[in-house]
Amino acid sequence: MVRLFRTDIFVVVVYLIFSQSFNILSYAQDNDLEKNISKALSKEVHSKNITVKVSTDSKDTKKIVNLIIKFDEIKLGEIRADFLTIQLKQPIIDNKLLQNWNKFKLISAKEKKVNILLSINSLQNYLLVRAKEFGKKNVNINLKFSPPYIECFYDVPKDEISSESIGLLSKFIPGDKLEGYAAFTFTIKNNELSAHSSKVILNHFLLPAPLLKIFENRFNPFENIPTLELMQYHINKINVQSKYLLLSN
Amino acid sequence: MKQKKKFIKYFILIITSFILLIFLFFVYSYIQGGKENYVPPKQEVSSDIEQVKSDLIKLSSSIESYYTINLSYPDSLSELIPEFIDKLPMDPLTEKNYNLKVYSDTLFEVSVIDASLYKLKEIKVRNGKVIQN
């Protein structure tokens, strides 16, 4: 009886040791994979920090169930996004390329969820960069997030505005500068960003809605949001929050 | 001659009213353009149920933002303050906070405490999608 009991304990202990070591092995493999992916991505993406979380199938450790990648301060074209997180369900990645060449290639994924967070500073810096690209030097724009609007306080010399816009606004620009306030909402489709003005005040005049409509029709979509080509996604949702602008697919 | 005079009278009246209208428009536009009006337009919500939907969507997107930074969902809605939301919206009928349920690393939902108050079986937002039955 005692002998039988001892054998049982032995079996249980052996099982526990094996299952534990299997788990440890699995965690170690996940860790290695996370490190490899992070290393491969850091070569191709300009980001301050990359966090990779992998969870593999308990039966088949080579099969990835979930892959989550977070980029801190990532550069997307001229935009420096504060955070970009990608959640991939059952992704298939090119393992040979990853192991032999240290390159990340996503072949497919059952589900892909992308969230990008932009703070006021990032957005403001982006606007300044874009203004400089267009040769506009004295553009003074301050932004504020007031969900669901983005408020914009501007002070721009008349010379910095295109002649087309000046033509439409001529009645409201008595002096040599454009100064005022605007409240916008945004929509995005296939990475193309459109602005919809809810209220625009220019040089102490509230602009009429039909005039704003003309501007919207003429200039929208006004920007193409750069994406991370490695991940192949399209941004289709935009949400203004108190401290961030959330872009998602 | 009389008819011509009448026509001129009407013509002047129309032109004057037109100029007056334009003048009034500019006066209105000028009054509305003061710095005290540098505020976003007020949002009007048509009904309680619309308010609930708008609140749940707002909360859901704040939770998504929380996840984007922390790689996990919050344990309670109060963790969203102040980074992702200024203050928690309240259910307009019960004036209580909404419910957050986190089912897994990738699944969450926010809902009203009692959907029957809205004559519904359920009203919630699951991973960004509105579900109303």
> Is the minimum CB–CB distance between B51 and chain A shorter than 8 Å?
no
Locate B87 and state its tokens. Answer: 């203050």
Q: If you average pLDDT over every residue of chain A, what do you get?
A: 82
| Banded pLDDT at A230 (limits 50, 70, 90) | confident
Task: Say yes or no: B71 contacts chain A, CB-CB below 8 A.
Answer: yes
Instruction: Encode pLDDT of A231-241 as tens digits.
Output: 888 999 999 99
Q: What is the mean pLDDT of residues A28-40?
A: 81
- The helix, strand and coil proportions of chain A, stated in percent and rounded to the nearest 5, come to 35, 40, 25
| A242·B71 Cβ contact <8 A | no
pLDDT at A226 over 60: yes
Q: Does the pTM exceed 0.90?
A: no
Give the pLDDT of residue A28: 55
B62: nearest CB among A149, A208, A241: A241
| Distance (Å, whole) CA B10 – CA B15 | 9
Any chain B CB within 8 A of the CB of A190? no
Q: Is the Cβ of A158 closer than 8 Å to some Cβ of chain B?
A: no
Identify all chain A residues contacting B25, using CB atoms and an 8 Å cutoff: 208
Nearest to B64 among A148, A183, A248 (CB): A248
The DSSP letter of residue B92 is T
Can you name the residues that pair with B111 across neighbouring β-strands?
A: B99, B124
| Subunit contact B41:A117, Cβ cutoff 8 A | no
| pLDDT given at position A2 | 52
Q: Kindly state whether B66 is in contact with chain A, defined as any CB-CB distance less than 8 angstroms.
A: no
- B58 touching A, CB under 8 A? yes
Q: Looking at CA atoms only, how far is residue B99 from chain A in angstroms?
A: 20
Which residues of A fall within a CB distance of 8 Å from B23?
Answer: none
Mean pLDDT by 10 residues, chain B (133 residues): 85 92 89 87 83 91 94 92 90 89 88 87 88 87
Span A96-105, average pLDDT: 88
B69 vs A117: CB contact, 8 Å cut-off? yes
Residue A174 pLDDT level (bands cut at 50, 70, 90): low
Q: How far is A54 from chain B (nearest CA, A)?
A: 12
Closest-CA residue of chain A to B26: A205
Contact A122, B74 (CB under 8 A): no
Give the CA distances from residue A45 to residues A34, A223, A229, in Å, rounded to whole numbers and listed in that order. Answer: 16, 22, 10
Cis, peptide link before residue A148, omega less than 30° from 0:
yes
Q: How close A205 comes to chain B (CA, Å)? A: 5
| DSSP-derived secondary structure letter, A20 | H
Q: Is the four-CA dihedral A174, A178, A179, A183 of positive or negative sign?
A: positive
Number of H helices, E strands in chain B: 2, 4
In contact, A32 and A51? CB cutoff 8 Å: no
Interface confidence (ipTM) of the complex: 0.81
- Is B61–A241 a contact, with Cβ atoms under 8 angstroms apart? yes
Q: What are phi and psi for residue B103, nearest 5 degrees?
A: -90, -35
The partner residue sitting opposite A242, judged by closest CB among B28, B37, B85, is B85
